[in-house]
Structure 1
């Protein structure tokens, strides 16, 4: 008897539906593996299509290249007028970020 295929997921932006999203995280160097290993993932998420902070929703992939979009109410597709853009803090004196 064959085992069912595993269910695959993607994370998408709840505003625009894009899967081009990232999260802040820490990576630690693993000497034995000679590679960076994810140590912690934080709550902040960024949508590279909206170009700002985002809420993510996990969706089931329906094929290798498509996914089932989350159900979004029509009123939820527009950002509220009270939304303020997120900005990066200024670089320290004498240089950029390491």
Structure 2
């Protein structure tokens, strides 16, 4: 797969002449919880995130799709497979309506 940069113009992205593709998105905020005080005039405003977001985007774009996919699925598994819940019960043959009546 060839990597190309497609600029956003007029609020739209248009891709032509491609059979496949993927979009890498990076976002950030200047919110800083530590600046919710009198010294910061209760602004909650932190550093401009542009440089950090641009660096994150460039680092991601330097990787092939397979690497990005593997990294993403590993991160996801850490968050959503952190525990399992086992009630140590066998499946009941009665319906929920029968059980609550």
TMscore range, shorter length = under 0.3
TM-score, normalised to structure 1, is 0.27
Of Structure 1 and Structure 2, the greater strand share is in: 1
- Give the structure, 1 or 2, with the largest relative contact order (CA under 8 Å, sep 6 or more): 1
